[in-house]
């Protein structure tokens, strides 16, 4: 099974500052057949279902503000919020859909400092 390890578990950032979340997979999720990384990022707020932010590691879902950026390839990925807003307080998860069983990272809780 592919293990997804996120870091940090939580972080507090001042409004307008940058937040960076890392995600590492135990094996590559880059497909040689289509050169795509089978990696997604989700945002979840309390009492709500998760919201898709990125797929193929860096393809922004429609409606997601451009202060969010997904990057990385192979086994190392990053979600960056360039200027944290109050509405970004949430738990963020990476997710590999390369090989079943599909697996989530443990989550990173983002708060305002």
Cα angle 40-45-49, degrees, rounded to a multiple of 5: 65
Structure tokens at 22: 């890392």
Contact residue for another protein among 24, 28, 36, 61 (CB under 8 A): 61
Applying CB under 8 A, which of residues 20, 36, 52, 73 lies at the interface with another protein? 52
Among 7, 59, 71, 85, binds another protein (CB under 8 A): 59
Binding mask 1-20 for another protein (x = CB under 8 A): x-------------------
Strand order of the β-sheet with 68-73 is: 4-7, 19-25, 76-81, 68-73
């Amino acid at each position: 099974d592919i293990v997804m390890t996120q870091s940090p578990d939580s972080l507090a950032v001042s409004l307008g500052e940058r937040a960076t979340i890392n995600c590492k997979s135990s094996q590559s999720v880059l497909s040689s057949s289509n050169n795509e990384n089978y990696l997604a990022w989700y945002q979840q707020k309390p009492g709500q279902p998760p919201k898709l932010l990125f797929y193929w590691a860096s393809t922004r879902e429609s409606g997601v503000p451009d202060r969010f950026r997904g990057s990385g390839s192979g086994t190392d990925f990053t979600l960056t919020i360039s200027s944290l807003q109050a509405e970004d307080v949430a738990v963020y998860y990476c997710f590999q859909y390369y090989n079943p069983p599909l697996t989530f990272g443990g989550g990173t809780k983002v708060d305002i400092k």
